[in-house]
Amino acid sequence: MSKATNYTARLPDANGFIQYPQNEHDIWQELYSRQLVNLPGRACQAYIDGLDRLALPNDRIPQLNEIDAVLQQTTGWKTAAVPALISFGKFFELLANKSFPVATFIRSREELDYLQEPDIFHEVFGHCPLLTNPSFAHFSHLYGKLGLAASKQERVFLARLYWFTVEFGVISGNNNDLSIYGGGILSSPGETEFVMGDEPEIRPFDLVDVMRTPYRIDIMQPIYYAISDICELDKIAEMDIMGAVNKAKQLGLFEATYPAKVG
């Protein structure tokens, strides 16, 4: 979403091809290699299946038309190249049209473990594999349509729903085995390991509670909300989400469980 950024997206040429320098391909390769080691036993099966379908290159940043060919065939989605950060309105408009925004820059080597703003590794490696999954794709489409029609104040509450599902969602399956489906975790080597440790609190998913939970984008998350299966996103999509927004507004936010940001 729109705020100050330290990055500049690379623009495609007349044929839609984006030229990246070799050092940026090297960063992609390093991130990809690290996450292939980190994700087995941690990422949910739907994500692993989607990663197999996409067959992303491990030695270079993929072109978006390569991603689109798979998404169009599986769920009818496609990507949309965007600047480093976009407005809420543009974000919701793209999702409502089954277009997933992809910022066409990659993080610096100094921010390999965790990045506050979404880069192409976050968007493509973190999110696009699950866009091949019908439940995740349907939830994302509905979310875009709701957000497009929502007021500015309502969008703030909807942002928390996105944060604790698409970005930082986890699954608590049989025997409370934890797995990851949130792209913010899956694309972060540091958070992938952190979420599986003893420090964060894993709460069962509750729609109103999620919308009442404050968060910071610049720290490892102290709280995650767990669904029981990726198909639960279909059930959430059928809930009265805007009604939950109104209830959350009436009840107010929970007290933050993290320290205030300094400076």
Report, as residue numbers or ranges, the catalytic residues. Answer: 122, 127, 167, 187
Q: In angstroms, how far is CA 51 from the centroid of its own chain? A: 15
- Cα(113)–Cα(187) distance, integer angstroms: 9
Q: Residue 80 pairs with which residues in a beta bridge?
A: 101
Binding residues: 122, 127, 167
Q: How many CB atoms lie within 10 A of CB 18?
A: 17
Q: How far apart are CA 144 and CA 6, in angstroms?
A: 26
Of 16, 110, 103, which is closest to residue 66 (Cα–Cα)? 16
Token pair 């769920």 is found at: 75
Binding-site residues for Fe cation: 122, 127, 167
3-state secondary structure 87-143: CHHHHHHHHHCCEEEEECCCCCHHHCCCCCCCCHHHHHHHHHHHHHCHHHHHHHHHH
Residue in the block written with tokens 């739907």: 46
Rg (CA), the chain: 17
For residue 163, give the amino acid letter: W
| DSSP state, residue 40 | T
Calculate the alpha carbon distances from 230 to 86, 105, 173, 227, 237 in Å. Answer: 27, 29, 10, 7, 12
